[in-house]
């Protein structure tokens, strides 16, 4: 988000408000997720979660979440009412909707598509001349978000299934989730390169070639290679979104 803010030449104050708003919003989503998932995390012995492991008090996390929520609202609106409303009522709201139950349905991908897809507009709507981000940029960000959803779910499929979480990745299974994540990330790369007006630059085409190679590894590789290749595609997508958007 900071790089997108620099690309769109936001004033330093507006850029700071946008980045701070998104950061504090993500804190509320992450901490909210750990609070909601506390019984399930304890049931499966998630020692990597401080709440589930008993290293943090629930009331302390609630206080931290409340402070972050106030900061998120204030910073979002300081970035501009248009940007603020989109961030709060689409981006942050989607994250909490996911935590509160959508994650256990076949629509688990939708909050990621909405939240990621509108992030570029959170930046462009905070500018001196507020406007929605180009469609290709929103599509690239949405594909990146949904692809990240599938990748993020892969390591926890078994634990989630044991505790009643049946999102779309769980219904499709590990193999099809990895395939769909790869296709989404590759598709996002293609959109980022071919979406903007004008002919693609040489370096953008080279990046797309790298993505296609990584996509082949993600689909046909063995062991940890597919997951690692898919994660690399996601990083290339982020770089393309920022660089081509400039």
DSSP 88-112: IIIIIHHHHHHHTTGGGSTTTTHHH
- Name the fold adopted by 1-132: Tetracycline Repressor; domain 2 (1.10.357)
> Which pLDDT belongs to residue 245?
65
Q: Return the higher-pLDDT residue of 64 and 218.
A: 64
pLDDT in tens, 180-226: 999 999 999 999 999 988 888 899 999 999 999 999 998 888 777 88
In the chain, where are the structural domains located?
1-132, 134-246
Q: Give per-residue burial for 87-126: e unless 16+ CB within 10 Å, then b.
A: bbebbbbbbbbbbeebbbeeebbbbbbbbbbbbbbbbbbb
pLDDT, the chain, mean: 92
Q: What is the value of pTM for the model shown? A: 0.90
The pLDDT-based confidence of 6 (bands split at 50, 70, 90) is confident
């Amino acid at each position: 988000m900071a790089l997108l803010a620099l690309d769109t030449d936001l004033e330093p104050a507006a850029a700071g408000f946008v980045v701070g708003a998104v950061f504090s919003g993500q804190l509320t989503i992450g901490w909210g997720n750990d609070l909601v998932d506390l019984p399930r995390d304890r049931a499966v012995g998630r020692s990597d979660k401080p709440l589930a492991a008993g290293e943090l008090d629930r009331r302390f996390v609630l206080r931290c979440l409340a402070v972050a929520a106030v900061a998120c609202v204030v910073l979002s609106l300081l970035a501009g009412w248009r940007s603020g409303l989109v961030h709060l009522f689409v981006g942050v709201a989607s994250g909490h909707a996911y935590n509160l139950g959508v994650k256990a349905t076949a629509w688990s991908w939708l909050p990621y598509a909405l939240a990621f897809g509108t992030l570029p507009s959170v930046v462009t709507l905070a500018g001196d001349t507020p406007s929605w981000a180009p469609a290709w940029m929103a599509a690239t960000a949405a594909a990146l978000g949904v692809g990240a959803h599938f990748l993020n779910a892969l390591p926890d499929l078994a634990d989630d299934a044991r505790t009643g979480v049946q999102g779309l990745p769980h219904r499709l299974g590990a193999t099809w989730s990895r395939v769909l994540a790869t296709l989404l990330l590759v598709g996002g790369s293609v959109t980022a390169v071919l979406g903007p007006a004008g002919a693609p630059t040489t370096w953008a085409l080279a990046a797309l070639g790298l993505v296609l190679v990584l996509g082949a590894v993600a689909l046909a590789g063995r062991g940890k290679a597919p997951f690692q290749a898919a994660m690399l595609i996601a990083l290339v997508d982020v770089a393309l979104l920022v660089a081509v958007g400039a």
